[in-house]
């Protein structure tokens, strides 16, 4: 108990006296923890609780039979039924229907054989099931028995009657019987999936070979839920990178905790000396300062958890946009703050705070009572260590370069991240030299141009070099991450713009109305394309058909297009540098494909490799002719000629149509005649320009979350500057009082503090920009390439960088306003006679 009482008197009570600084420091931890918690919660909600929507109503099935693309032939069902086991088989078709603004999974099952779970409504007769307008609605749709609804399916709309509502928690789903569904969906009779429930008695491992033996070639047997797992695997890299970004604010917070505890130690040096002289052990001094840090950590973590829960609401929306745009259609689940997350928050808050405080707390424990009175020595020591720090910084920089040359570990750019951490460490160690160097080099200039206040400000910063360095370190780390992500996203954006210039050569593009996604490829009637091709204003029509497939345990897209047209009009760039007019003709003959860069990197595919794809009931072998740059989907594409695709999957309905107008045909006229040709179909026609604008809009929305994370990190750093400047003012109050005695006026004193804030901001911007450029190289050429497999061309987003840096600079100077106000209000008589 005496220890607790002493801790309260010596540590907690001073914290209460400086409430504003305590609150600012705790808030820095709180924001750091909040961001991590928000991303963790939102990630779980957006992807963690994600189930592939086509797996809705899978029930308690054990296995599923699918085909790579084009569906499972009905004979497969017969083959499985003929096996001598009491298997429960559930054939299904899966697609999407658009109800109002919502895209809803449409599942067709055998309603005669398969009772719907807990539904209400009419299911008494086969005629009800087999009517083309009968649907059963999930409880999440808010529909009632007897409602009439208009659904958009592919490029057609039709009226349906709600015959029943499924039981609780069935969510947003529409169910039909197989027979009417195949008519409505325009299917040839193939199924999308056969779910298998095995009888008890054997393990699933035992069942697997038995079932596999009974299946024809061209179909795949997998454990039920494998699609969800595939999607989760695909999202792992995205979540991993997001998680790493979310820790930046916490790292910045760690700098500030280090600073706060350092300030605490420097201020209480004399006190520590007295305590040591009175019999306090080194361990108790160490424990006291670590305890102080733990107080900040616990307080911050508590607030951070609550804040994180709130922030998760917004974060989940931003993450869902990215998941939907780049990965897979999903609907975020609910946000659940469980005990595991609470413990994570507490552990992170206190852990980071205690770790950050280790060094200053250890220094406190080594204080020799006699030395404790000598002010100035601490700063002097930092100057003495500058060369040692420079040597360590160089070694860290070298180690970072070596780490950046290493490959991924288990698909994760572990060494890339290690290199980034080492670069941040290296930069932090270089900062004392930078601060002192720049200040001494510019002293004369500062004095001449900006006056004595600026000189005093510069000297004040160098005089508190240790503290200044930590502050500049914190702010520059935040600025560096902001600049790095800004450069990376800006480079990516520019790369995509250049790529679109090459890729999008057609004048008009068509797709079915309703939302699309990387895993949704609704089709249009083949006759639409034929009608457009027959128009006198049209030079060529490229019909592209996409299928969502699974390759190597990961989702991918199989596509077929008219490669002759693509070769004639397109400028699709290939990794090999080959001319598209040479590559595309190779696709016209034989089983050959081109694959996207993302696909090639994900599956380690090179030109000349052969891909085995079970298609249309047989296994095709496709030679990879070349690899092309593509930024439209992280899943990756396998592209073959349309004729080749039709040989395996004879469904002529295209997913997208590209229209090339004849020279002399105006865009407005072309669009009008094409729209007339699609009359009666729910098809959207985009001009080339509109499509590009739409794509860039999606791109910008996708990266909104990264900017939000950077914003929080910078906010934490600027807040830290405010707190630390306040501490500097309080610590130097005697000096400031003396300046008043020597004749400095209040406004000039205010200007001096603002100069200090400005110099801090300037130094942090310089250091942050240099570090940011290095980190951006790591992000672009190591972390991005190893995580996502995209080649990004380096580009300087000058306007964005200048804007962001100016904003941070202004915020830093503004952060000096309150400390400056405090400095001006100090009573010089009181502070000068304090001793």
Partner 1 sequence: MSILSLEHVSKSYMTDGAPVPALHDISLDVGRGEFVALVGRSGCGKSTLLNLAGAMDFPTSGTLTLDGVITSSLNDAELTRIRCIKVGFIFQSFQLLHTLSVVENVELPLMLAGKTEVRQSALERLRWVEMESYAARMPYQLSGGQMQRVAIARALVNSPALLLADEPTGNLDTVTGDVILELLRRVADEQRTSILMATHSVEAAAMADSVVYMRDGAVATS
By CB under 8 A, is residue 835 in contact with partner 1? yes
The single residue among 219, 489, 695, 744 that binds partner 1, judged by CB under 8 A, is 744
Question: What is the phi/psi pair of residue 488, to 5°?
Answer: -65, -50
The single residue among 271, 571, 746, 794 that binds partner 1, judged by CB under 8 A, is 746
Applying the rule CB under 8 A, the residues between 696 and 735 that interact with partner 1 are: 734-735
The single residue among 739, 753, 779, 813 that binds partner 1, judged by CB under 8 A, is 739
C-alpha distances (whole Å) from 702 to each of 322, 404, 488 are: 5, 26, 14
**What is the spatial distance between Cα 627 and Cα 446, in angstroms, rounded to a whole number?**
56
By CB under 8 A, is residue 751 in contact with partner 1? no
By CB under 8 A, is residue 377 in contact with partner 1? yes
Contacts of 191 (CB under 8 A, 6+ apart): 71, 72, 73, 74, 76, 77, 91, 92, 93, 178
The single residue among 19, 213, 217, 742 that binds partner 1, judged by CB under 8 A, is 742
The single residue among 71, 180, 360, 460 that binds partner 1, judged by CB under 8 A, is 460
By CB under 8 A, is residue 832 in contact with partner 1? yes
Q: Which is nearer to partner 1, 536 or 743 (CB)?
A: 743
For residue 524, which of 417, 680, 322, 418 has the smallest C-alpha distance? Answer: 680
By CB under 8 A, is residue 376 in contact with partner 1? yes
**What is the spatial distance between Cα 704 and Cα 535, in angstroms, rounded to a whole number?**
42
Q: Which is nearer to partner 1, 29 or 760 (CB)?
A: 760
Q: Where are the beta strands (DSSP E) in 574-729?
A: 592-596, 610-615, 618-628, 637-641, 656-661, 683-687
The single residue among 33, 251, 307, 455 that binds partner 1, judged by CB under 8 A, is 455
The helix or strand, by DSSP H or E, that contains position 164, with its residue range, turns out to be strand 156-165
DSSP one-letter string for 719-755: HHHHHHHHHHHHHTHHHHHHHHHTT--HHHHHHHHHH
Shortest distance in whole angstroms from residue 448 CB to partner 1: 9
By CB under 8 A, is residue 19 in contact with partner 1? no
Q: Which is nearer to partner 1, 679 or 742 (CB)?
A: 742
Q: Which is nearer to partner 1, 180 or 828 (CB)?
A: 828
The single residue among 78, 452, 534, 810 that binds partner 1, judged by CB under 8 A, is 452
By CB under 8 A, is residue 444 in contact with partner 1? no
Check residue 662 and report its DSSP letter: P
C-alpha distances (whole Å) from 800 to each of 141, 489, 702 are: 43, 10, 17
Q: Which tokens in the block code for residue 417? A: 């991240």
Q: Which is nearer to partner 1, 64 or 453 (CB)?
A: 453
Name the one range near partner 1 by CB under 8 A: 161-169, 349-357, 372-380, 686-694.
372-380
By CB under 8 A, is residue 449 in contact with partner 1? no
By CB under 8 A, is residue 740 in contact with partner 1? yes
By CB under 8 A, is residue 267 in contact with partner 1? no
Q: Which is nearer to partner 1, 386 or 459 (CB)?
A: 459
Q: Are the C-beta atoms of residues 671 and 685 closer than 8 Å to each other?
A: yes
By CB under 8 A, is residue 386 in contact with partner 1? no
**What is the spatial distance between Cα 135 and Cα 181, in angstroms, rounded to a whole number?**
10
Place of tokens 């309080």: 730
By CB under 8 A, is residue 820 in contact with partner 1? no
Shortest distance in whole angstroms from residue 702 CB to partner 1: 49
Q: Are the C-beta atoms of residues 509 and 658 closer than 8 Å to each other?
A: yes
Q: Are the C-beta atoms of residues 724 and 815 closer than 8 Å to each other?
A: no
Q: Are the C-beta atoms of residues 537 and 669 closer than 8 Å to each other?
A: yes
**What is the spatial distance between Cα 389 and Cα 406, in angstroms, rounded to a whole number?**
26
Q: Which is nearer to partner 1, 455 or 805 (CB)?
A: 455
Name the one range near partner 1 by CB under 8 A: 452-460, 492-500, 516-524, 600-608.
452-460
Name the one range near partner 1 by CB under 8 A: 333-341, 357-365, 718-726, 737-745.
737-745
Q: Which is nearer to partner 1, 164 or 828 (CB)?
A: 828
Q: Which is nearer to partner 1, 340 or 371 (CB)?
A: 371
**What is the spatial distance between Cα 462 and Cα 478, in angstroms, rounded to a whole number?**
22
Binding site for partner 1 (CB under 8 A): 374-377, 380, 447, 452, 455-456, 459-460, 462-464, 734-735, 738-746, 748, 828-829, 832-833, 835
């Amino acid at each position: 108990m005496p220890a607790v009482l002493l801790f309260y008197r010596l540590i907690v009570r001073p914290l209460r006296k400086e409430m504003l600084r305590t609150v600012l420091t705790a808030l820095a931890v709180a924001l750091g923890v909040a961001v991590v918690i928000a991303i963790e919660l939102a990630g779980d909600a957006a992807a963690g609780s994600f189930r592939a929507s086509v797996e809705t109503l899978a029930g308690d099935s054990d296995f599923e039979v699918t085909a790579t693309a084009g569906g499972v032939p009905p004979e497969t069902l017969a083959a499985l039924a003929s096996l001598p086991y009491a298997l429960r088989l559930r054939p299904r078709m899966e697609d999407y229907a658009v109800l109002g603004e919502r895209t809803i999974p449409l599942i067709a099952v055998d309603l005669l054989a398969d009772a719907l779970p807990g539904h209400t409504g009419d299911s008494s007769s086969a005629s009800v099931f087999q009517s083309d307008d009968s649907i059963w609605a999930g409880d999440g749709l808010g529909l009632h028995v007897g409602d009439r609804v208009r659904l958009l399916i592919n490029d057609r709309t039709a009226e349906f009657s709600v015959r029943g509502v499924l039981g609780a928690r069935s969510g947003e789903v529409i169910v039909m019987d197989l027979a009417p569904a195949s008519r409505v969906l325009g299917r040839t009779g193939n199924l999308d999936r056969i779910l298998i429930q095995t009888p008890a008695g054997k393990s699933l491992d035992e069942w697997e070979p038995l079932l596999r033996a009974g299946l024809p070639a061209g179909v795949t047997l997998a454990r039920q839920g494998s699609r969800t797992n595939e999607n989760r695997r695909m999202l792992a890299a995205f979540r991993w990178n997001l998680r790493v970004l979310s820790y930046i604010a916490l790292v910045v917070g760690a700098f500030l905790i280090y600073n706060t505890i350092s300030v605490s130690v420097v201020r209480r040096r004399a006190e520590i000396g007295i305590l040591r002289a009175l019999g306090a052990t080194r361990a108790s001094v160490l424990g006291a300062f670590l305890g102080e840090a733990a107080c900040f950590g616990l307080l911050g973590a508590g607030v951070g958890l609550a804040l994180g829960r709130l922030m998760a609401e917004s974060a989940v929306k931003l993450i869902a946009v990215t998941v939907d745009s780049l990965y897979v259609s999903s609907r975020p689940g609910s946000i659940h703050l469980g005990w595991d997350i609470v413990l994570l928050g507490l552990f992170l808050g206190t852990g980071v705070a205690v770790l950050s405080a280790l060094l200053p707390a250890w220094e406190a424990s080594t204080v020799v009572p006699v030395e404790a009175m000598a002010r100035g020595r601490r700063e002097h020591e930092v100057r003495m260590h500058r060369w040692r720090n420079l040597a360590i910084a160089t070694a860290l920089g070298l180690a970072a370069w070596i780490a950046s040359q290493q490959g991924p570990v288990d698909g994760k750019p572990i060494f890339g991240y290690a290199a980034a951490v080492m670069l941040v460490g290296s930069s932090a160690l270089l900062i004392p030299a930078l601060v002192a160097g720049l200040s001494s080099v510019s002293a004369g200039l500062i004095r001449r141009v900006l006056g004595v206040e600026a000189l005093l400000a510069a000297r004040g910063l160098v005089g508190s070099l240790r503290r200044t360095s930590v502050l500049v370190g914190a702010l520059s780390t935040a600025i560096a991450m902001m600049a790095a992500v800004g450069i990376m996203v800006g480079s990516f954006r520019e790369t995509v713009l250049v790529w679109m210039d090459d890729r999008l050569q057609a004048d008009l593009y068509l797709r079915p109305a309703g939302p699309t996604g990387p895993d949704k490829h609704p089709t249009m009637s083949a006759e639409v394309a034929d009608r457009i091709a027959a128009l006198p204003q049209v030079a060529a029509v490229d019909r592209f058909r996409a299928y969502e497939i699974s390759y190597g345990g990961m989702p991918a897209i199989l596509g077929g297009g008219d490669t002759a047209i693509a070769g004639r009009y397109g400028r699709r760039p290939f990794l090999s540098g080959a001319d598209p007019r040479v590559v595309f003709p190779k696709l016209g003959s034989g089983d050959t494909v081109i694959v996207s860069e993302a696909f090639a990197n994900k599956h380690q595919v090179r030109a000349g490799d052969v891909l085995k794809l079970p298609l249309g009931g047989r296994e095709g072998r496709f030679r990879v002719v070349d690899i092309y740059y593509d930024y439209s989907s992280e899943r990756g594409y396998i592209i073959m000629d349309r004729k080749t695709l039709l040989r395996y999957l004879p469904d002529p309905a295209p997913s997208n149509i590209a229209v090339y107008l004849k020279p002399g045909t105006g865009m407005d006229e072309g669009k009008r005649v094409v729209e007339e040709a699609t009359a009666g179909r729910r098809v959207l026609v985009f001009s080339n320009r509109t499509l590009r604008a739409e794509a860039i809009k999606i791109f910008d929305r996708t990266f909104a979350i990264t900017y939000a994370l950077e914003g929080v990190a910078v906010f934490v750093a600027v807040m830290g500057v405010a707190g630390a400047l306040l501490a500097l003012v309080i610590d130097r109050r005697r000096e400031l009082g003396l300046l008043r005695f020597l004749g400095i006026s209040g406004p000039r004193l205010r200007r001096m503090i603002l100069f200090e804030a400005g110099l801090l901001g300037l130094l942090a911007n310089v250091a942050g920009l240099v570090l940011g450029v290095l980190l951006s190289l790591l992000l672009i050429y190591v972390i991005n390439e190893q995580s996502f497999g995209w080649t990004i061309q380096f580009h300087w987003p000058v306007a964005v960088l200048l804007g962001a840096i100016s904003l941070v600079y202004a915020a830093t100077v503004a952060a000096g306003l309150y400390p400056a106000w405090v400095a001006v209000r100090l009573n010089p008589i009181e502070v000068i006679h304090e001793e």
